[in-house]
Structure 1
Amino acid sequence: MPQIGNMQPSQNRQQAKDSVMPLSPVPLHTQIRETLRHYILDGRWPPHTQIPSESQMMSSFGVSRITIRQALGDLQKEGLIFKIIGKGSFVAKPKVFQSLSRLQGFGEAMSPAGYETCSKLLSARETEASPAVAQRFSLKPGSRVFEIQRLRYLNREPISVDVSYFLLDIGRRLVQEDLVTRDIFMILENDYGLDLTHADLQIEAICADEFLARQLGIAEGAPLLRMERMTHAGDTPVDFEFLYYRGDAFQYRLRIDRS
């Protein structure tokens, strides 16, 4: 395969052209897409590497601009590259994913995949329940709840801000626990004997405000995934959370069966 990232078009043009087969039933843009995908996935082009320009690849592969744009468009749809207007195309950082088919804490889900996780406790306090929080716990407006804010790290990079709410008795106990290295789910189940059974989820896309942007090391207004999750022990609501995940680094996956 051609070393496109390092080549001078005039020097290696024939080598590049040999990497596509004009008479193949596989379209040219598909052949080029697979070549570029190989460079990305085998680590030859690390995340945030600028890939060759459309003109360079036109010359290297000996194809038209529309063919190159089709290949790049496919890679962008897959999330393997991103474009910056006026600067070109760059290799995207691979996204971590978490399945929604099981109710798991962050560390519980990430550790089996080989990721290092930890948390930074941002705040832990008693506060007046907002209307949304009061409704989830079936409390009267103005009732007191316990709020815990944590910054979650994946392989030592900030990936999410978790804002969790609990009834006072549980919250006051949790703040005494090791919330840096342990998942709250594990504490609730193993230490407090609660049987977490299910959660109600709602996911939406939002823009990072100044606080979230500062904590996550991203630009204000950058895209985030916000999950609203109410976890139950039997029929009793236990843990209500707003989870804010970096849109450039995280995705959820869900299998849906048609019965």
Structure 2
Amino acid sequence: MMKSSPAGALRGVVDLSRSAVPRYLQLATLFRSRIDSGAWRPSEQIPTVEELAAECGVARATIRQALGQLEAEGLIERFRAKGTFVRGQGRNRLWCEVQTDWSGLLRSREGAEIEILGSRGDAMPPMMPEGLGHRAAAYRHLRRRHWRDGQPFLLADVYLDEKLWPKVKAHDLRSRTALNLVASLPGVTIADARQTLTIGTADVEVADELKMPLNAPVAHVRRVAVDAHGTLILVADGIYRGDIVRIDIKLSTGGQGG
């Protein structure tokens, strides 16, 4: 009788030569995604170090380094003479919804806390949006970190028209999302707002601020708002942990079937 293989059948050799990122970090990201996707399921044994080394075309020491990353994150358990087993998927996986409608963007995230990391005046966003309003004379730059259940999940750089700064209440800085904050200011009417989302990986700074592995996936979200006078009053650049982000977009069928 043939013995069943551990979770995740061997695949073609993985090409790790196309990136300058250390190989063990690339492999840690690969193995983490197998756990998140369910290819390596909780309580199941994963392939041996020797099998993974052959699959990935690397030394066994590199595989051990990668598995050490996952073990430190609590995703796997290694037992002498028994093998390596999946403990579970990431905590609070896909709980953070990035809203795509106006009313959703104005809602504050339940259970979240906002930490102010820094503030300075007379600033300017590093990349100004093109074709959307004219820029203000100066902006107030805020760097904020959002937490939930003791885990940071969002690092945000907020640029607010400096003329609006005197209207901002200190309490709102620690409780309102950027768009919610601007929309709540007295005398401010938002005439246009846009949101852009791109996918990337965590660099050294982001990995440190969000307490996540280097090169792990992140979602970059830019939100901008223009007032009734055509002034770009808000530019907010947020970086979300990719392991907890969920984006739901309702598609209109236009009454068509099929």
Does the CA contact (< 8 Å) of 2:157 and 2:238 recur in 1? yes
Distance in 1, matches of 2:240 and 2:113, equals 15
Partner of 1:121: 116
CA distance in 2, matches of 1:155, 1:180: 16
Q: Structure 1 residues 83 and 230 mapped into 2: Cα distance closer, same or farther (>3 Å)?
A: farther
Q: Which residue of 2 aligns with 1:156?
A: 150
User: Within the alignment, does 1:238 sit opposite 2:230 as a pair?
Assistant: no
Return the alpha-carbon distance in structure 2 between the equivalents of residues 165 and 232 of structure 1: 13
Higher relative contact order (CA 8 A, sep 6+): 2
Corresponding position of 2:94: 95
- CA distance, structure 2, for counterparts of residue 236 and residue 87 of structure 1: 57
Which residue identity lines up with residue 217 of structure 2 in the other structure?
P
* 1:252 matches 2:251: no
Equivalence map 1:169-248=2 (5 Å): 169-174=163-168, 176-196=170-190, 198-234=192-228, 235-248=230-243
Match of 2:134 in 1: 138
Deviations along 1:76-113, one digit per CA (max 9) or x if unpaired, are: xxxxxx899x945453232112331334447x2533xx
Q: Which moved more, 1:153-162 or 1:173-182?
A: 173-182
**Alignment RMSD, CA only?**
3.4
Change (3 A) 1:54 1:129: closer
> What letter matches 1:195 in structure 2?
T
* Paired residues of 1:101 and 1:255 also in contact (CA < 8 A): no
What TM-score results when the alignment is normalised by the length of structure 1? 0.57
Structure 1 192/177 Cα, relative in aligned 2: closer, same or farther at 3 Å? farther
Q: What do the CA deviations read for 1:168-199 (whole angstroms, capped 9, x no partner)?
A: 11235437454112344444333424233542
Match of 1:225, SS state, is: strand
Q: Higher Cα Rg: structure 1 or 2?
A: 1
Distance in 2 (alpha carbons) for counterparts of 1:250 and 1:103: 19
**Contact residue 228 and residue 243 of structure 1 kept, 8 A:** yes
1:40-55 counterparts in 2 under 5 A? 50-53=42-45
In 2: Cα distance, 1:198 partner to 1:238 partner: 10
Identity %, equivalent residues = 13
TM-score normalised according to structure 2 size: 0.57
- Alignment CA distance shift 1:130-1:195 (3 Å): closer
**Offset at 1:248?**
0.7
**Which amino acid counterpart does residue 138 of structure 1 have in structure 2?**
H
Structure 2 counterpart of 1:194, which letter? V
Count of residue pairs the alignment pairs up: 178
Report the CA distance between 1:217 and its aligned residue.
0.6
Structure 1 unmatched ranges of 5 or more: 1-47, 56-81
Instruction: Give deviations 1:199-227, integer Å, cap 9, x for gaps.
Output: 21211111112221111111222110001
With over 3 angstroms needed to count, the CA separation of the structure-2 counterparts of 1:83 and 1:254, relative to structure 1, is farther
Is the 1:103–1:198 contact (alpha carbons within 8 Å) kept by the matching residues of 2? no
In the alignment, residue 95 of structure 1 is paired with which amino acid? L
Question: 1:103, 1:199 within 8 Å by CA — same for their partners in 2?
Answer: no
Alignment CA distance shift 1:90-1:195 (3 Å): farther
- 1:223 to 1:54, Cα distance in 2 relative to 1, 3 A: closer
Provide the rounded CA distance (Å) in 1 between the counterparts of 2:129 and 2:46. Answer: 55
